[in-house]
A and B are shown apart, each in its own frame.
Chain A
Amino acid sequence: MSTLVSESLLQQVLGAFKEQGVSDEPSFLVEARQLAFERFEAAGFPTVKNEEWKYTNIHSIINKPYALDVDVDIEGLDFSAGEIPQLDAYRIILVNGQYVLAVSELENVKGLSVIPMDEAASEPAFEAHFAKYADKSDNIMVALNTAAFTNGVFIHLKKGVVLDKPIQIIHVATGKEDFFAQTRNLIVVEPNAELELIESFITAEGTANNVHNKVSEIIVKENAKVQHYYLQLAESVSRYFNHTEVYQEKYSLYNNYNCNFPGASFIRNNINVRLDAEHVESHLYGINLTAADQLVDNHTIVDHLKPHCESYEWYKNITQDKSVAVFNGKIFVREDAQKTNAFQQNNNMLMSDNSSVYTKPQLEIFADDVKCSHGCTIGQFDNEALFYLRARGIGEESARILLVHAFAFDVTTRFSNEVVRKYVEELVEESLRTN
């Protein structure tokens, strides 16, 4: 139902929750929603007074009304902007977090189930894991999502199943009136299974202003492996709150590749990884190329809870025009987590005088036998290198592209998927050309 009244988003979501009828969802879910709602109602939207939101003022986004749960026309919806050339993948299309369109061949993959969230609550793995992780973080946007998400996907990969190709989720934003949408995903990867997940974000042509609050919980069980890509390609009318909570069991591997490109005017990613068993490995990579008046804020937490784990984080920001990039990287090494290896690096390149970067490495170490390192650099374009290339006959634009590639290179070479790496490198190039 669409209700558009001239009030703020806060009043709207509170009102909508209280006015909703009797739910047909199982009681554990109803209860989780109720608890989350109470948390959100007490706290409200975060403001810049909150340290975690210091550089990310959302006032102008939430201080107006949006349509909630609007019915949209998905007939003939064009999602080609999310297609990756030469990528062979199982594809899922998620429209405004509401409609789930999955390719039919997914049904025949042995050991894999992909179920829309609104039909998944009866699955035992759903009940075992839903809202058990993200809701423990201090991000209040998760509470809002838990209380009122509409749909999303539940992906369950059974024990020992190694998918022959990646799953790509294309998130499409579309609608003729300003709207607010909440997507919820739950991904459970059983022991020894391997998943490659690629999420692309796009905006359909002619879409009104839209705000998304998305939460994904990912459970990586013993010796399972997950490669997870974010490719943010949406348009300026789209704004995203995106929370990813990863819970890892022993000998598991989780790699996140977070790529944001010019377009969406507001992006706040929270990526939290909990290494809650021995011999866990996690890698977080980020390439953020910003332009116009974009704000791209990446908050990450790597939480070492047990001994003998390794984490590796490397974020690169390249800012153009008047854009702003924020990086906040927390690493916790808890008292039990002896023999931890944790590495973090954040490099920033400011391409214009008017762009800015706020970066904050934050290490909290409570164990005494650990190896932790972090580094952070902020620099401008290397004019000496630029002149060298131009003096060899390379045009200024090509020279700039070569140099930005070179800057991003340390991170893009870590990509596990060659096709995606190439695609991302081309997107970097394209983003520089249009400027």
Chain B
Amino acid sequence: MLSIKNLHASVEDKQILKGLNLEVKAGEVHAIMGPNGAGKSTLGNVLAGRESYEVSEGSALLDGVDLLDLSPEDRAREGLFLAFQYPVEIPGVSNINFLKTAVNDIREYKGLPPMEAKEFLQMVKDKQKLVEFSANLANRSLNEGFSGGEKKRNEIFQLAMLNPKLSILDETDSGLDIDALRIVANGVNELRSKDNAFIVITHYQRLLDYIVPDFVHVLYNGRIVKSGPKELALELEEKGYDWLKEYDTQNA
């Protein structure tokens, strides 16, 4: 589904990603771990199309379409979803209006007519239930006054509404207490299917107890230096990241 080859990216002339390769197939969950500054969030932002990141080399194909050639909105319309590490508060933009615009813009891209109001509201209700997000969204501005946990849960709710092919969760576990973490993870597990895939970016193994990955990758100094089964996460938790330095020099 997703095929990243030799991806090089920089921000403000600082090289962050230095030849990253990653293959993700439909139905899989991949975890990406690594120390601060390794390039984990950069990967999510580069794929989503944040302007401040400059791609100098490589490709990122989503079902054969090179995402790097597209505007951020077209990447989303092709089925990419980035759950933000820091979701933005936008006073004055209502949650419902925002979702309706997003859903219908994506439908338009796919040549589908706008969704009927009734059908849309029913979907909001169903998906809220599915991801256990009970916040009253009517007449409330996007993320305004939401707690950290509510914002993250709203990201998962949006994910449920937009039904992307590939979702990237960028440190969705950061700042969550154990109950919120469980709810967020349950939401993701509900949404997992044979047709979609997830990349879970995290610092801590804790989240992976709830969202069990098929593969764990270690990102270090802009490259994936080690990949393995879910047990690799436990090893990292135990040993830290220092021992990875040798991998880095070996591969250099």
- Seen from chain A, the residues whose Cβ lies within 8 Å of a Cβ on chain B are 382-385, 387-396, 398-399, 402-403, 405-410
Contact = CB atoms under 8 A, between A and B. Distances in A.
A402 B105 contact: no
A402 B158 CA distance: 17
Give the interface residue-count category, chain B: 20 to 34
Contact of A383 (B51, B71, B93, B97): B51
B77 interface: yes
Contact of A394 (B51, B73, B91): B73
Nearest to A405: B92
A13 B109 CA distance: 60
Interface in B76-116: 76-77, 82, 84, 87-88, 90-93, 97-98, 101-102, 105-106, 109
Contacts of A402: 90, 93, 97-98, 101
Contact of B93 (A391, A393, A396, A405): A405
B48 A391 contact: yes
Contact of A403 (B90, B102, B105): B90
Contact of A393 (B50, B84, B87, B109): B109
A7 to B, nearest CB: 51
Contacts of A409: 91-92
A409 B141 CA distance: 11
Contacts of B244: none
Given A383-B51, A388-B84, A393 B73 contact: yes
Which has the most chain A C-beta neighbours within 10 Å: B72, B84, B101, B102?
B72
A390 B48 CA distance: 9
Contact of B73 (A390, A407, A408, A410): A390
Nearest to B158: A392
A385 B141 CA distance: 13
A199 to B, nearest CB: 27
Given A384-B88, A387-B50, A394 B102 contact: yes
Contacts, number: 74
Contact of A392 (B51, B97, B98, B109): B98
Given A402-B101, A406-B92, A409-B92, A391 B82 contact: yes
Interface of B: 48-51, 71-73, 75-77, 82, 84, 87-88, 90-93, 97-98, 101-102, 105-106, 109, 141, 158, 162
Central interface residue in B87, B92, B106, by most chain A CB within 10 Å: B92
A389 to B, nearest CB: 7
Contacts of B84: 388, 391
B72 A391 contact: yes
Shortest Cβ-Cβ A-B pairs, 9 listed = A406-B92, A409-B92, A393-B76, A390-B72, A393-B106, A392-B102, A388-B88, A390-B73, A406-B93
Nearest to B102: A392
A395 B91 contact: no
A390 B98 contact: no
22 contacts: A385-B90, A387-B50, A387-B51, A387-B72, A388-B84, A388-B87, A388-B88, A389-B93, A389-B102, A390-B71, A391-B49, A393-B73, A393-B76, A393-B105, A394-B101, A395-B73, A396-B71, A399-B73, A402-B97, A405-B92, A406-B90, A407-B92
B104 to A, nearest CB: 9
B49 A388 contact: no
A405 B91 CA distance: 10
